[in-house]
Amino acid sequence: MRVVYTSDENVEIVPFKEFQKLDMRVGKVLSAERVPDTTHLIKLQVDFGDEQLQAVSGLAQQYEPEDLLGNKYMFICNLERKKFKGLESQCMIFAAEDKQGKLALMVPENDIEAGSKVY
């Protein structure tokens, strides 16, 4: 395994075969709500065409749940399941974060159906 050193962090190079194992798809947010007793968590119910999955993401300090409704974003659908405040996160939304901590969610450039594969 090769490690690349940058000014910010150590980045591990992932073999292409490992990258291919990721199930990355476009999902449409069906519902979004703040997780009670937290300042940063939002629970999302996401449609992937043939299934619905739940995501629990730390977006609430920069996004309002109602602003996410009906929008399509990119997700990873086969990560190990994790629980946050007792809620299982079954997928993970793609987000970029700059040095100031500002988030940007990754959206498809064109309208594409929920469940479409991301390569």
- In tens, the pLDDT along 75-117 reads 999 999 999 999 999 999 999 999 999 999 999 999 999 999 9
Length of the chain: 119
Instruction: Give domain limits for the chain.
Output: 24-105
Q: Tell me how far CA of residue 20 lies from CA of 12, 17, 28, 81, 117, in angstroms.
A: 16, 5, 23, 19, 12
CATH of 24-105, one of 2.40.50.140, 3.40.47.10, 2.160.10.10, 2.40.160.40: 2.40.50.140
Report pLDDT digits (tens) over 16-49: 999 999 999 999 999 999 999 999 999 999 999 9
Q: Which of 65, 64, 91 is nearest to 80 (CA)?
A: 91
